[in-house]
């Protein structure tokens, strides 16, 4: 049979360290994930701009050759 311990369980300093450690790890993971997403979006935007400029140059060169 379970014996009562004499009151509610008390929080020890170790519990506070676990909470702080969890928050730090969560913040680092969130920052890394956000950096990855933003970096990927920025890369795709730059790629689209470069391809659009390249297509425009090719189009202008073809136009000049036809004249």
Residue 61 lies in a domain: yes
Angle (CA) 30 36 39, round 5°:
135
Percent pLDDT > 70 in the chain is 90
Residue 46 lies in a domain: yes
Mean pLDDT of 6-27: 85
State which of 18-22, 49-53, 59-63 shows the largest mean pLDDT: 49-53
Domain that residue 62 falls in:
15-67
- Per-residue pLDDT of 35-48, as tens digits, reads 999 999 999 999 99
Residue 5 lies in a domain: no
Which tops the pLDDT comparison, 8 or 60?
A: 60
Residue 1 lies in a domain: no
Residue 9 lies in a domain: no
Residue 4 lies in a domain: no
Residue 2 lies in a domain: no
Count of the separate structural domains present in the chain: 1
Model confidence at 11: pLDDT above 90:
no
Residue 52 lies in a domain: yes
């Amino acid at each position: 049979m379970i014996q009562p311990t004499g009151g509610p369980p008390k929080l020890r300093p170790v519990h506070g360290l676990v909470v702080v450690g969890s928050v730090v790890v969560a913040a680092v993971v969130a920052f890394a994930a956000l950096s990855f997403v933003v970096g990927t979006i920025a890369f795709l935007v730059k790629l689209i701009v470069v391809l659009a400029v390249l297509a425009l140059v090719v189009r202008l060169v073809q136009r000049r050759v036809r004249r």
